[in-house]
Amino acid sequence: MCYMTKFPYVPPHEFNIDFPKLMLRYRAVQHRAGETGWAQAQLAQTDRNGKLARPVAPLANWASREGNGLTRPLLEAAAGVHREAVLPRFHGKTFTARAAEQPLEINRDAPAHGRKAVLYATCFVNYNNPSIGLATRAVLAKNGVETEIHYPTCCGMPQLEHGDLEAVAARARKVADALVPWIDKGYDIIALVPSCALMLKIEWPLILPDDGAIAKLAAATRDIAEYVVDIDRKEGLTPGLAAIDGGVTLHLACHARAQNIGPKARDLLALIPDADIEVIERCSGHGGSWGFMANNFEIALKVGKPVARSAAQSNKPYIASECPLSASHIIQGMDKLSEQAAQTPAPIHPIELFAMAYGIDPKEWPCQPSVK
């Protein structure tokens, strides 16, 4: 966000300083010098970690649950992850597996029937929150959109944070090899998490500027809220949306804002009748894996305190953010405020709220992980 709103010397200023990329180059130098910590590198292996945790998801969730006085101090000592930080939960069955087992009937009477899209599952949705993906499939099917689910590998955002540009480039090529043939068959590409959409649209083309497949993938990729709003504006949505009781506090995720597409999550929820939306456009303080770490956790909560306070004072039953990590961090910040609501709401993705407004029963995608 420094590039877009904060730092005064970005292009076209004569100083021509892209501050975020300056910091990225510094991290790349550190990484090549072997200064990326072992624990940080292991935490960034999201695919490996998800595959290892999947068969023992209840045990993994028990061990990583905040408040576990037996395991969390050990995790803090070994990996530098703060013992109080809320960590993503794992699922025994991935989004891709669930989607394969649950075929959906496409609404052929929908105004947008004929559209086709590949859902890039992302590591977070695939291993940690399949509900986002299943809600997306249901909403798109109701609006006549044929979907395919693919997950070649993680987008590399965790590696980008550490300056491992070679690893990011390798992942970009692998994903492009898998998805570009679908573009050639008339499919759009939808990224289910804004961090991943940002990587496909903007970061990968900067790292691999001469790769035609990467450029083609970037041009075809849409954020999920961006895509549904585009359906409404071009073809029109399938009727049937109903009001959601109590209203929503919506956090505009920084990685969605950095795509420079406008507040599409707000535009999405505004399509729900009688929508009562309170928008918070400010950093949650989490900063990807940075906010988990023992050296940073208290700072992350401090930075996010204004967001948590605003969310608590809104006193609405839903806290939504396109960034699941930000949403959980905001909830944790609310828990630490004396003015918090009587019952802190659970975080939810805007597309899940949209599915609820369509009357799609959340029980149709029962993806709450076990922590026993």
DSSP H or E stretch at residue 248: strand 248-251
| Residue 12, preceding peptide bond in cis (omega within 30° of 0) | yes
Same domain, 99 and 230: yes
What is d(CA 117, CA 186) in angstroms, rounded to the nearest whole number?
Answer: 8
Same domain, 188 and 230: yes
Q: Whole domain around residue 209: which residue ranges?
A: 95-234
pLDDT tens per residue, range 227-263: 999 999 999 999 999 999 889 999 999 899 889 899 9
Same domain, 298 and 263: yes
pTM: 0.91
In a domain, 224, yes or no: yes
Burial of 261 (0-12, 13-18, 19+ CB in 10 A): middle
What is d(CA 100, CA 197) in angstroms, rounded to the nearest whole number?
Answer: 23
Provide the 3-class DSSP secondary structure of residue 357. Answer: helix
Nearest to 145 by CA among 263, 224, 240, 261: 224
Q: Can you name the residues that pair with 119 across neighbouring β-strands? A: 149, 190
In a domain, 316, yes or no: yes
Q: Can you name the residues that pair with 146 across neighbouring β-strands? A: 116
For residue 13, what are its two tokens? Answer: 């200023």
What is d(CA 102, CA 114) in angstroms, rounded to the nearest whole number?
Answer: 21
Mean pLDDT of the chain: 91
Same domain, 307 and 221: no
Name the pLDDT band for 364 (thresholds 50, 70, 90). low
Handedness of CA 69, 75, 78, 79 (dihedral sign): negative
Domain boundary at 199, 234, 269, which? 234
Neighbours of 74 (CB within 10 A): 12
CA 165 to chain CA centroid, Å, is 21
Neighbours of 186 (CB within 10 A): 11
Same domain, 346 and 219: no
Same domain, 202 and 312: no
In a domain, 369, yes or no: no
What is d(CA 72, CA 94) in angstroms, rounded to the nearest whole number?
Answer: 25
State the total domains in the chain.
3
Name the pLDDT band for 278 (thresholds 50, 70, 90). very high
For residues 113-135, average pLDDT: 96
Same domain, 181 and 262: no
- Cβ within 8 Å of residue 123, ≥6 positions away: 46, 47, 50, 151, 154, 155
CATH number of residue 329's parent domain: 3.40.50
- Strand duo 188-191 + 221-223: pairing: parallel
Q: Side chain identity at 272, as an amino acid letter?
A: I
Q: Is 325 left (phi over 0), alpha (psi -120 to 50) or beta?
A: alpha
Nearest to 117 by CA among 155, 152, 143, 145: 145
Weakest-pLDDT range from 131-140, 212-221, 239-248, 282-291 = 282-291
Same domain, 205 and 101: yes
For residues 161-166, average pLDDT: 94
Q: Please, are residues 176 and 107 in contact by the beta-carbon 8 Å criterion?
A: no
Name the pLDDT band for 366 (thresholds 50, 70, 90). very low
